[in-house]
Amino acid sequence: MDKKIKKILTIGIGEFALDSAYWQRIKVLAEKIINLPKDSSEIKSELIDTDCLLTGFGIIVNKEIIDSAPGLKYIGVLATAYGKVDVDYAKSKRISVCNIPGYATEAVAEFVFGIILEHVREIERGKKQTREDNYSEAGFSAVEIKNKIFGILGLGRIGSRVAEIALGFGADVRYWNVDRRKEFEIKGVKYEDADILISKCDFLSLHFAQVKDTENFLNKERIQKIKKGAVVINTAPMELVDIDALEKRLVDKDITFILDHSDEMSSENIKKLSKFENCIIYPPIAYITKEARIAKQEIFVGNIESFLEGSLINQVN
């Protein structure tokens, strides 16, 4: 059988990262498939005759790796973020790099409202109390999303969906993005200068991709500007936030910070934040839904299939 791909090497993609139906769709594309964990010592030797490399989230694919695979034509990343792949060097070697954009847009956007409402409506407390046979509403207090200033930093895929859902709740939705998004302004999402927005919001949700310009975007100065009583939500990487400055502000107990812990966050930083009652940390579950998992696999495998058919989709280089 003469297949277009001689050998697929996967790095850091566990057996359960893909459902068997998707593994099957990948396997039929290549003559051979080798799966290695991310810390395997065999990576370099296996790369020699690899023409298709598939990597999990956060796997480093630098010049050295690329140079170890002289026959490499395609790198597929099983994630939206591809910052660990040297895409320019790959391009210079005519290697296409494809990622999985947008598979978890809805999952993350819906989660943002789940964790906001959990907090402002004391939902965990309500559940816990009834389990203890206490059905009293005494002492519960809450605020509504309607009519509140709901700020969004970064109006990309996820930020846009958060904006639309917030409009459904009747919030006064405002955004800052590096580019104006007139199509959302027509719907009623107002543009504001980032610093002014931060100082005004009742709810502030971060949706930047992590790039050089957005790292530490919520710096000391901006964290100090956050309105008293505001709820700040970060389902994006915590690299967007100056953790030490956040720690100092949390001491004042006048803001609430809710985050979806990312794998990239150091245990030192987690320790700094987890001691605060007004910092609510979730496991990295914002992107986890059945729908997102299916979309992720569909796009990942679809990317490879399209590459073989000569029409590249989701190429990032």
Residues that bind a second copy (CB under 8 A): 106-107, 110-111, 113-115, 117-118, 121-124, 126-131, 133-137, 140-147, 164-170, 261, 270, 274, 280-285, 288-292
Q: What is the dihedral of CA 283, 285, 287, 293, to 10 degrees?
A: 130
Q: Decide whether 59 or 109 has the Cβ nearer to a second copy.
A: 109
At its nearest, how many Å lie between a second copy and the CB of residue 277? 10
Q: Whose Cβ is closer to a second copy: residue 9's or residue 79's?
A: 79
Tokens standing for residue 3? 């297949």
Q: Name which of 37 and 170 has its Cβ closer to a second copy.
A: 170
- Nearest one of 6, 12, 89 to 57, comparing CA atoms: 12
Q: Which residue has the tokens 């000569």?
A: 310
Tokens of 218: 């919520």
Whether the Cβ atoms of residue 253 and residue 278 lie closer than 8 Å to each other:
yes
Alpha carbons 174 and 191: distance in angstroms, whole number: 6
Select 134 or 224, whichever has its Cβ closest to a second copy.
134
In the block, tokens 């895409």 appear at 87
Nearest to 172 by CA among 199, 146, 152, 194: 146
3-state SS class at 195: helix
Q: Which of residues 72 and 286 has its CB atom nearest to a second copy in the complex?
A: 286
> What are the φ/ψ torsions at residue 125 (nearest 5 degrees)?
-60, -40
Q: Which residues pair with 279 in a beta bridge?
A: 257
Q: How far is the CB of 240 from a second copy (least distance, A)?
A: 18
Nearer to a second copy, 202 or 242 (CB): 202
Please say which residue, 171 or 223, places its beta carbon nearer to a second copy: 171
Question: Mind giving me the DSSP string for 254-308?
Answer: --EEEEE--TTS-HHHHHHHHT-TTEEEE-S-TT--HHHHHHHHHHHHHHHHHHH
The answer to whether the CB of 155 falls within 8 A of the CB of 189 is yes
Smallest gap from residue 31 Cβ to a second copy (A): 34
The SS3 assignment for 133 reads coil
For the bound state, the minimum distance from the C-beta of residue 20 to a second copy, rounded and expressed in Å, comes to 18
Nearest distance in Å: CB 164, a second copy: 6
Instruction: State in angstroms the smallest separation of the CB of 283 from a second copy.
Output: 5
Q: In whole angstroms, how close is the CB of 66 to a second copy at the nearest point?
A: 30
